[in-house]
Structure 1
Amino acid sequence: MKTKLLALLLLCITGPVFAQPIDIKEIVRQADEKLRGNSSIGEFTMTIQRPSWERTLSMKNWTLGTDYSLILITAPAKEKGQVFLKRQSEMWNWVPSIDRMIKIPPSMMMQSWMGSDFTNDDLVKESSLVKDYEHHLIGEETIEGYKSYKVKLIPHEEAAVVWGKIYMWIGQEELLWLKAEFYDEDDFLVNTEILTDIKQMDDRIIPTHLEMIPAEKEGHKTIMTFDQIDFDVDLKESFFSIQNMKRIR
């Protein structure tokens, strides 16, 4: 009797002996892939809010894996026709109003994209959340009613990334990316990303409303709304060419 009681007490203290370990890297990969798919074509609206003004941009986006991305600005008229291309490690900007192709160097990946609170890196995902970072499960929290994993991402020493540290909150049930905090190399919070309005888009359920909020700029916010997305579409690497930047509509 004493032996059985002791065994029961040990089980309560240590937890299930055969509990499966959590592959947190795979969870991050699935949460990231859910938003991008193997390939995608989407339409988005971006609203930049400032204390004294607000403006809205509309755009189309094509992606293939993590190496290829093309963004076409469709409104307003002043920016309409601008194209941004990420092709592997290179990023380009076609500006039709001045008939100029601009290559964006790695040193400008942290620069604001179109005057928003997103960086060039945010929009084309120059860095890979899966390949360039170590992943550590540091706890569980509830975000907007969703029980979530809290994950700490630390960049590999050799990784060419812009963030010194990232915290991610991923919903446990659907593996939804719900929140992220981005820190610089000096461990200061730079941006907080909040993802809400979860709904069906094509073949999956994803957040469709994204807010990027800078930490030290009161009244500043950029809102990205996913209007339409088709995932796992037939796109080829040849679509993501400098020549196609001038033709895409």
Structure 2
Amino acid sequence: MRNYMKILALMLLVSFNLIGQSQFTAEEILQKVDENMSSNSTITESKMVIHGRRNTREVVSKGYAEGNEKAFTEYLAPDREKGTKMLKLEDKLWIYNPSTDRTIQLSGHMLRQSVMGSDLSYEDLMEDRKLTEIYDAQITGEEVMDNRKCWVLELNATVEDASYQKRKTWVDQERFVPLKEELYAKSGQLLKQITMKNIEKIDGRWYPKNVNYKDVLKEGEGTDFIVLDIQFNPEIPEYIFNKASLKR
């Protein structure tokens, strides 16, 4: 009987350990996140709700993206921003301002500036590479967030030009979509927090339609990026990604 109890206890211990282990590796989890969050091309209608210290304002835009090297955005509202356009080609970014009829190019440290007073930088908007292309991952634990079991992953950059050298991300174990992220500088300082909500299944993938970006170095409630409509893998005319489109 004593030997039987020892064997039973050992079996329970092994079972407990197996339950606590993920059936996926960190790389496999990150790959599945990329499958949800990335696509060959997108057309997105969105609204930024910028929560300032004194007031809240909304900016509506329509954006086109193809891979990681081409992106074009036109701002539709409010009137003061209407007609402003941005074009990204590889690592270059141009902004057209209709009030001055001028096009300027941003580069270097200027890309870290805030986009229209929001908690997003131009660098944030330009970074659209798959996570598996720029980070190594490891599973550091499990937590429950919004009543959903999540893996906690630590991501460390494998390329020098990553916008954030380290990320901590909470990935929904069922839907393989991040519910929360923390973005860190190379020094280890926390720079931004991201919270994903309103997760919907669109074209066979889980995707967050409301993302809150919070620059922890600023006051306020952050900036909500709300997806009004999104198309995955549409055909986009080549003329969209041309500097002539900025003034068209």
Band of TM-score, shorter chain: 0.7 to 0.9
Instruction: Map 1:142-161 to 2 at 5 A.
Output: 142-156=144-158, 158-161=159-162
Aligned-pair CA distance for 1:204: 3.3
CA contact (8 A) 2:38 2:130 kept: no
CA contact (8 A) 1:197 1:207 kept: yes
Match of 2:109 among 107, 110, 116: 107
Question: The residue matched to 2:36 in structure 1 has which SS?
Answer: helix
CA contact (8 A) 1:46 1:222 kept: yes
How has the CA–CA distance of structure 1 residues 132 and 205 changed in structure 2, closer, same or farther, with 3 Å as cutoff?
Answer: closer
Query: Mind listing any 5+ residue stretches in structure 2 that lack a counterpart?
Result: none
* Structure 2 residue 235 is the aligned partner of structure 1 residue 234: yes
Q: Which runs of 4+ in 1 moved over 6 A?
A: 1-7
Instruction: Map 1:44-59 to 2 at 5 A.
Output: 44-59=46-61
Q: Under a length normalisation based on structure 1, what TM-score does the superposition of the two structures give?
A: 0.86
Q: Under a length normalisation based on structure 2, what TM-score does the superposition of the two structures give?
A: 0.86
Match of 2:25 among 20, 23, 26: 23
In structure 1, what residue type is equivalent to 2:216?
A
- For residue 204 of structure 1, what is the aligned residue in structure 2? 205
- For residue 68 of structure 1, what is the aligned residue in structure 2? 70
In structure 2, what is the Cα distance between the partners aligned to 1:50 and 1:166? Answer: 26
- For residue 140 of structure 2, what is the aligned residue in structure 1? 138
- For residue 37 of structure 1, what is the aligned residue in structure 2? 39
Aligned-pair CA distance for 1:4: 7.8
Is the deviation greater in 199-208 or in 49-58?
Answer: 199-208
Question: The residue matched to 1:109 in structure 2 has which SS?
Answer: helix
Query: Mind listing any 5+ residue stretches in structure 1 that lack a counterpart?
Result: none
Is the deviation greater in 20-29 or in 49-58?
Answer: 20-29
- For residue 95 of structure 2, what is the aligned residue in structure 1? 93
CA contact (8 A) 1:208 1:225 kept: yes
- For residue 124 of structure 1, what is the aligned residue in structure 2? 126
* RMSD (Å) for aligned C-alpha atoms: 2.6
In structure 1, what is the Cα distance between the partners aligned to 2:242 and 2:35? Answer: 23
In structure 1, what is the Cα distance between the partners aligned to 2:22 and 2:218? Answer: 43
State how many pairs are aligned: 245
Question: The residue matched to 1:163 in structure 2 has which SS?
Answer: coil
* Structure 2 residue 188 is the aligned partner of structure 1 residue 187: yes
Is the deviation greater in 119-128 or in 142-151?
Answer: 119-128
* Structure 2 residue 229 is the aligned partner of structure 1 residue 225: no
Question: The residue matched to 1:131 in structure 2 has which SS?
Answer: helix
Aligned-pair CA distance for 1:10: 4.8
CA contact (8 A) 1:113 1:119 kept: yes
How has the CA–CA distance of structure 1 residues 6 and 173 changed in structure 2, closer, same or farther, with 3 Å as cutoff?
Answer: same
* Structure 2 residue 168 is the aligned partner of structure 1 residue 167: yes
Aligned-pair CA distance for 1:26: 3.6
